C-alpha cells in the first residue's frame, strides 16, 4: 500500500536529550528516517504554490494534477 502525503517543511527538527542532539526529518525525503540525511536540500528550490514528488535517485518531478484536500502540513 502507498500513500501520498504533503510535506512542506524544508529543514529538520532538532531534538536534544541531555548531551545528545538528533535531527529528525520533517521534509519526508530522508533515506534514513526518522533522521535527517541532508536530502531536504533537494527541495530548496520548490515553489510554494506547486506540488512535487521525488524518485529514489532524488530526481524531482512537478505534479500537474491537483489534490485539493490532501492531508499534510
Q: Are 42 and 58 in contact (CB under 8 A)?
A: yes
Q: Cβ–Cβ contacts within 10 Å for residue 12, how many? A: 19
Give least dist CB 50 to ligand FES, A: 19
Binding residues with ligand FES: total (CB under 6 A): 12
39 forms part of the interface with ligand FES (CB under 6 A): yes
Can you tell me which of 4, 14, 15, 37 binds ligand FES, judged by CB under 6 A? Answer: 37
The gap from C-alpha 7 to its chain's centroid, in whole angstroms, comes to 5
46 forms part of the interface with ligand FES (CB under 6 A): no
Rounded CA separation 29/36 (Å): 8
72 forms part of the interface with ligand FES (CB under 6 A): no
Amino acid at each position: 500500500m502507498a500513500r501520498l502525503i504533503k510535506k512542506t517543511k524544508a529543514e529538520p527538527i532538532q531534538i536534544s536529550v541531555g548531551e545528545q542532539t538528533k535531527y529528525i526529518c520533517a521534509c519526508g525525503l530522508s533515506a534514513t528516517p526518522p533522521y535527517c540525511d541532508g536530502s531536504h536540500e533537494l527541495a530548496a528550490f520548490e515553489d510554494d504554490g506547486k506540488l512535487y514528488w521525488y524518485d529514489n535517485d532524488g530526481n524531482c518531478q512537478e505534479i500537474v494534477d491537483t489534490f485539493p484536500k490532501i492531508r499534510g502540513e
